[in-house]
Amino acid sequence: MISIYAPASIGNFCVGFDSLGAALAPIDGTLLGDVVHLEHADNDAFFCVGPYAEKLPKSAQENLAYQCLVHFREHVASDMPSVSLTLEKRLPIGSGLGSSACSVVATFTALNEFAQTKLSQEALIELMADFEGKVSGARHYDNITPCYLGGLQLTSHLVPNKAISVPVSEDWHYVAAFPGFALNTAKARGVLPVSLSNHDAVEFAQRLASYCLLMQVGRFDEALELMEDKLAEPYRQSLIAGFSEAKSALPKLGAEIVSISGAGPTLFTICKSLAAAEHCQQWLEKNYINAHGFSHICKLDNRGTRAISLGV
């Protein structure tokens, strides 16, 4: 049996719409991500289990993990032995935590290992981005590459090997708060303007370039000062009940940054201490999250997608 875990991720990371993403590791050790289990079988079979399995379409054909299996068998490894694939769906759908990317990345990583196909990192990332793009309304890599490789990734089709790892401050703690309702990524992309003014495009490029270079040389406080999302947040915040209130309340409790994770509705903060992160989490638990939501204090997951032992 092969069991592969793929972690949740923060798309956009505030300043890098479709271009910057970070993998999350809750500090209490919770597995915040999907797991795919593969084992030899007489015929190919697919199962979907886990806390969010019921939220997915009933038919296997509509499940991304099954679609990845069918594609892999037909186009990548037709001589692969028959396999039973179980998706353990542990992330909510439409959460802004890269849920669809998690399923796709875990599935292709597991199949690549099971069939010993040894696809290159770039070929695997391209395959993963194709499938994530089927549901999100656009082909973007900012959940795929952090989920697969871990850490904070600057990522796009222009980037050599599709991703360059960006260092982060060891002091940074992230609070990720899923409010408990879904927001479809394609819908949240639909509210964005279709074009940018010359001024806004130039400012976006200047901000992202400066941010990445400052991070690269360890000038983290100056990088934090640049963390503002003028491209997506102004258009998406009205889709997320409670976001504006959180954005004004949390800086007083020690949040350096409050922003939307991916397309939302998950909100994330960056705090420079665990104590500040705990204060923000308490506020979010009380004021942002309903009975179906959750929050985690996280560091970045620097390991990315990996084999795990059962029971871990």
Ligand X SMILES: Nc1ncnc2c1ncn2[C@@H]1O[C@H](COP(=O)(O)OP(=O)(O)O)[C@@H](O)[C@H]1O
Ligand Y SMILES: N[C@@H](CCOP(=O)(O)O)C(=O)O
The binding site for ATP comprises 92-102
Q: How far is the CB of 123 from ligand X (least distance, A)?
A: 21
Host H or E run for residue 246: helix 243-249
Task: Identify what 233 binds: ligand X, ligand Y, none; CB under 5 to 8 Å per kind.
Answer: none
Task: Name the CA radius of gyration of the chain, rounded.
Answer: 19
CA distance 312 to 302: 17
Cβ proximity to ligand Y: between 97 and 289 the closer is: 97
Which residues are CB-contacts of 39 (< 8 A; sequence separation ≥ 6)?
1, 2, 83, 84
Within 6-116, where are the H helices?
64-71, 99-114
**Which residue reads 């990845």 in tokens?**
68
CA distance 136 to 149: 20
Cβ proximity to ligand X: between 85 and 277 the closer is: 85
- Check residue 143 for interaction with ligand Y (CB under 6 A): yes
Residue selected from 103, 136, 153, 259 as contacting ligand Y according to rule CB under 6 A: 136
CA distance 232 to 237: 8
| Cβ pair 250, 177 in contact under 8 A | no
- Check residue 262 for interaction with ligand Y (CB under 6 A): yes
- Which residues of the shown chain bind ligand X in the complex (CB under 6 A)? 56-57, 62-65, 87, 93-96, 98-100, 103, 135-136, 184-185, 262-263
Q: How far is the CB of 160 from ligand X (least distance, A)?
A: 26
Region near ligand Y per CB under 6 A, out of 84-92, 93-101, 106-114, 216-224: 93-101
Which residues are CB-contacts of 205 (< 8 A; sequence separation ≥ 6)?
none
Task: Identify what 155 binds: ligand Y, ligand X, none; CB under 5 to 8 Å per kind.
Answer: none
* Residue number closest to ligand Y, CB atom: 262
| Cβ pair 228, 14 in contact under 8 A | yes
- Binding track, positions 16-55, relative to ligand Y; x by CB under 6 A: -xx-------------------------------------
Binding positions are: 92-102
Q: How far is the CB of 149 from ligand X (least distance, A)?
A: 18
Taking the mean position of all CA atoms in its chain, how far away is CA 57? 21
Considering CB under 6 A, how many residues would be counted as binding ligand Y?
16
Task: Identify what 18 binds: ligand Y, ligand X, none; CB under 5 to 8 Å per kind.
Answer: ligand Y
Write the DSSP assignment of 169-188 as a string of letters.
Answer: -TT-EEEEEE-SS---HHHH
Task: Identify what 293 binds: ligand X, ligand Y, none; CB under 5 to 8 Å per kind.
Answer: none
Task: Identify what 56 binds: ligand X, ligand Y, none; CB under 5 to 8 Å per kind.
Answer: ligand X
Among residues 9, 17, 8, 6, the alpha carbon closest in space to that of 211 is found at: 17
- Check residue 155 for interaction with ligand Y (CB under 6 A): no
Tell me which residues touch ligand Y (CB under 6 A).
11-12, 17-18, 96-98, 136, 140, 142-143, 185, 189, 232, 262-263
